[in-house]
Every structure is written in structure tokens, then in C-alpha cells.
Amino acid sequence: MPFTSEQLLEIRDRFHHADVCPIQGPRAFFENAGGSLTLKAAVERTAELMAFPDNQGRANAASQYLMAIIAQGRNDMKLLMGASSGEVFIGESGTELLGRLIRNATLASSGAKILGSHLEHPATYSAGRRWAEVAGMTYEQVDFDTASTVVSVEQYRPALTPDLAVATIIHASPVTGMHVDVKAIAAEIRAVAPECFIIVDGIQHAAHGHVAVDDYGIDGYVVSGYKLFSRHNFGVAWVSDRLATAPHDQLAGAPANVWELGTRDASAYAAFSEVVRYLEWLGAEVSDETEPRAQLEAASAAIRDQEQDLVDAMMWGTGGLPGLGQLDGVHVVGPEASEHRSGMVSFWIEGHDSLDVVDTLNAEGVRTHARKQDYYSASVLEPLGIENCIRASASHYNTRAEVEQLLATVNRLAGS
Ligand SMILES: Cc1ncc(COP(=O)(O)O)c(C=O)c1O
């Protein structure tokens, strides 16, 4: 069931700039794949803690306070990711963390090959290519299925060999909006190459669905703060105990499982904790759950329902306006109905450059983004034969009224 209008009001009130761009003015925000709205609580906590001069590891009250916040942040990261073992740490960004995990896993492995897919973001395949070359390994990317725009066991299976050193999986694509069955792919990889380090890019997925690394049988999972209702300048990585203790970049003499490099930004850990508190609150609003993990799962299910309602409205219309799936001359990337679709619809309009459509939408108060064959998206768009498209990426706080605003402009441009 989608949220009630009262629930949506309460939800939106917890975020900054839900209705209004601070620079441009009123707008509907469908650029969540570029970065979600930010929780007010995350901003408040950040500001408070950034003002502290104290360092960690000192015998004073402020230092102890900061260390408790960091410890709480680590617990919350594991809670959100569904990890009962392994280590979590923050890095500069999702890209930096994925690169670090892939580099260290490659150099720690005695395997001969790195494997990924063409659905991936360059954050994984750039690192895979580079470190395979440095380590004298081969690098291979399997195709995704262009009809479903999903990569699955079927595509990975023929490329699996026992000498796999590292395999990467994207959990959800920021171009097609489809999520992938990580557990099934990881199980297939493990069956053929038990020692392979499996690293998952969860950056697009985490704000839209359930994360449960205990169930996946993987070695690394990465999310980004700014894509998950928090802020820029940090990502979070989880590594399995096996990867945590494999040789990796660290200070000489540090315990074998430590991946943190240098002094922590306590405000980032605290901001992440605020995200987890928010999701617990949301879970409690929509269910009778009282345990934190169960609340997070209830929140994920509610987020999925709300986003499905928004996708249905985009696709099949709302407020009397036909949807993207009904308009002549409007083409949707991927199947119109798919259980893999996670809150996003990418599309293009015949006779219109998608970059111009994004500008028009923006001028009319609807923020979207264009995906084109540049080094971020060509790997996905080229096999699909698509030059460029408009990406409308929703989140659970978006409303049908905002979808109506999007459709009003698209209907006009499509000439209906
Ligand atoms: C799937 C995916 N991976 C990686 C990235 C890069 O993340 P970051 O900006 O945190 O480096 C993005 C950002 O759009 C993404 O969507």
C-alpha cells in the first residue's frame, strides 16, 4: 500500500528542500539517483559534530563522546546492511571504496581473472580493468539481457571459472533502474570459485530496498551517504571477515581486520545513524515491529510499495494524464512492467533530444537528469542502442502530484 497523504507530509517534513530548490525555487525532485534529499537530522548532527575540535583516542570527555558516536555509527551501518560479522568503515565516496575493495581483493588473491558485467557503473569496472592489468590477470565483463535490462545468473554462468579472483555485481542500475538478484549470482559464483572475492555495488539500490549481506554470501558491499538520505563526502563499505583480514592497505602494526585509514569524521558516522533512526521510525509508522532490524525491513517494504505506486503513475498515468507507457512517441528503457524496476523510469521522446527535454522539465519545475553515452553510462546505453534518455528517479517521499507535474510536460512535448 502506498503512504497516506498524512504519512507523506510527515515523511517530507523530515527532509530538507522537499518542495523547493534553494537556488531555483519550487520544483518536484526526480533526481534521486543523482543524490537523495537530505534528512534534516543528518544535517543538524553534522553541523554539531563538525564544530568539535577534539580528536579520537584521548582521555577526555569530548573524545570519549566522539568515540561512542563512531561506535554507534558502526553498529548502525551493520544493522542497515544486515551484517552480523565483518567490518564497516567510511571512505571518501562510493567510487573510492569500491576501488579500494577491488584493488585489495585482487592483490590478495592467487586467482587469475576478474569478472563483472556491462550493467555496472564505472566505479567497479574501471578498478577491475586497472587492477587486473597490474596483477597480470584477465578482466571480463559479461553482457546483461537487453530485453529485461537485468544481469542474472544466466549471463554470469558461462564466464565462471575456478580461477576467479574477484567478481563484481551491481545491485541496481542507476541507468535502467532495475535491481539484480545478488544472492543468486553470488551463489553461482561461489559454487564454481569458492575463494573468489565477491564485491557488490549497492550505491543505487540501498535507498530503494532491503540490504541483507548475511544472506548474500559476498565479501564486500558499498553504499554512498548522499544517495541514502545523508550527505556528500562519505561512503560506507562492509567487508566480510575473510576480506577484512586479507592483506590490504593499512598502517603497519594495525590489527589485521582494520581498514580505516586515519582519523574518523565522527559527523559522518552520526549522520548515518540518523538515517537508520529515520528508517526505524518509518518502519514503526507502517508496522507493529519493535525490533530495529524488523523496523528497517518494514520500512523497506513500505518504500518499495510507495515507489511502485509512483512508477505505476509514471507509466500508466495519473490525474487524468496518460503515462509514459501509453504515449505515442515516448519510449521507456526496459520493460514497462518489471518486478526489477526500483523507483526509476528512463525514457526518451521521439523528435526531442533528451538533454533539451531535461532543460524544459527543469524550467517547468521538474528536476530530472539526462543519461547519455558518456563514460558513466555508455556501457549500458550502447548495448541498448540508445543515444540518450531522460531519467526520472523517484524516492519514497515523492508524490503522485509531482508525477502529474512531470507528465504534464512530457504529454505536451509528445504532442498529445
Ligand atoms: C551504482 C553506482 N555506483 C557508483 C556510483 C558512484 O558513487 P559515488 O558518487 O559515491 O562515488 C554511483 C553514483 O551515481 C552509482 O549510482
286 within a domain of the structure (yes/no):
no
Q: Ligand 1 centre and the CA of 389: distance in Å?
A: 18
Ligand 1 pocket check: which of 227, 342, 344, 377 to mutate, most ligand atoms within 8 Å of Cβ?
227
For atom 14 of ligand 1, which residue has the closest CA? 34
pLDDT in tens, 98-108: 999 999 999 99
pLDDT of residue 411: 97
Residue 283 lies in a domain: no
Task: Write down the pLDDT at residue 117.
Answer: 98
Q: Are residues 36 and 48 part of one domain?
A: no
User: Ligand 1: does its nearest atom lie under 6 Å from the Cβ of 333?
Assistant: no
Say if residue 416's pLDDT is above 70.
Answer: no
End residue of a domain, out of 220, 249, 276 = 276
**Residue 123 Cβ contacting ligand 1 at under 6 Å:** yes
Q: Residue 356 corresponds to which amino acid?
A: D
Q: From CA 416, how far away is CA 413, in angstroms rounded?
A: 8
pLDDT digits (tens, 9 = 90+) for 16-64: 999 999 999 999 999 999 999 999 999 999 999 999 999 999 999 999 9
Considering the domain boundaries, does residue 285 fall inside one?
no
Query: How far is 389 from 373, CA to CA, in rounded Å?
Result: 10
The last residue of a domain, from among 217, 245, 276: 276
Spatial contact of 139 and 133, defined as CB atoms under 8 Å apart:
yes
Task: Label residue 178 by pLDDT band (50, 70, 90).
Answer: very high
Termini Cα distance of the chain: 31
In a domain, 156, yes or no: yes
Kindly state if the Cβ of 132 falls inside 6 Å of ligand 1: no
Alpha-carbon separation of residue 91 from 56, 263, 264 (angstroms): 17, 11, 9
Nearest CA to 197 out of 143, 96, 127 is that of 127
Residue 49: what residue type?
L
Amino acid identity of 231? R
Q: How far is it, in rounded angstroms, from Cα 236 to Cα 224?
A: 6
Q: What is the pLDDT of residues 256-269, one digit of tens each?
A: 999 999 999 999 99
Please check whether residue 282 lies inside any domain of the structure. no
Cβ neighbours of residue 323 closer than 8 Å, sequence gap 6 or more: 313, 314, 315, 316, 317, 407
Please tell me if the CB atom of residue 93 comes closer than 6 angstroms to any atom of ligand 1: yes
215 and 179, same domain (yes or no): yes
Pocket lining: 95 vs ligand 1, CB cutoff 6 Å: yes
What DSSP line would sit under 151-194, residue for residue?
A: --HHHHGGG--TTEEEEEEESB-TTT-BB--HHHHHHHHHHH-T
Q: Does residue 175 contact residue 391 with C-beta atoms inside 8 Å?
A: yes
Pairing of strands 366-367, 28-29: parallel
Structural domain for 121, as ranges: 44-276
Tell me what the pLDDT averaged over the chain comes to: 97
CATH number at residue 26: 3.90.1150.10
Cα(393) to ligand 1 centroid in Å equals 14
Please name which of 20, 65, 11 lies closest in space to residue 41, comparing C-alpha atoms: 11
Cβ of residue 414 lying under 6 Å from some atom of ligand 1: no
Ligand 1 lined by 224 (C-beta under 6 Å): yes
